[in-house]
Amino acid sequence: MGGVVKGLRWAGTLTGAVALVGLAGSPALAGTDVTVYGPSFKAGCSNASAGHFASYGEVFTVYDKCADGWAAVVKVDVAPYQSNGGYDFSIWNPNSADGSPVTVNKSYDEGTGVCMQAGAGEYRSGEWGYFGPWSCGTA
């Protein structure tokens, strides 16, 4: 009887070890994508701008969604986060609502937090207009 219990204990240990090896060899967990929208004050436009962060490949895309005379802009804050409304960088899309989106590729460690805020502004002067809320995901 003792040999049977010892054999079962050994089989349980071996099964646990095989499960851990299987987890270690599995692909990395996916991050969380983020999409943000900048408000529009022009009738007929639900959003002035949109920004998207694709966690796979860490790709930012900025869209101008409204022909309102403003350029689309997205503020990006990457962990560790800035305080007092700070951010790490901005991405402008001056291509107008009929133009192509602007894409920026970055590289972050898996699990790095990424927050974005979409808005609009005057591209040539770099002055901000108005922004929507912040939203966050992970690389």
Q: What is the pLDDT of residues 58-98, one digit of tens each?
A: 999 999 999 999 999 999 999 999 999 899 999 999 999 98
Higher pLDDT, 97 or 13: 97
For 17, the enclosing helix (H) or strand (E) is helix 2-24
Which of 93, 132, 137, 82 lies closest to 115 in space, CA to CA? Answer: 137
What pLDDT shows up at residue 85? 85
Which band of pLDDT confidence, cut at 50, 70 and 90, is reported for residue 48?
A: very high
CA distances from 50 to 10, 62, 101 (A): 57, 6, 10
Q: Give yes or no for residue 102 having a pLDDT over 50.
A: yes
Residue 91 tokens, joined: 């991405």
Question: Interior CA angle at 135 toward 131 and 138, to 5°?
Answer: 140
Stretch 34-55: mean pLDDT, rounded?
Answer: 96
Q: Give yes or no for residue 20 having a pLDDT over 70.
A: no
Q: Are 108 and 127 in contact (CB under 8 A)?
A: no
Q: Report which DSSP code applies to 38.
A: E
CA distances from 121 to 3, 39, 81 (A): 77, 12, 23
Q: Give yes or no for residue 5 having a pLDDT over 50.
A: no
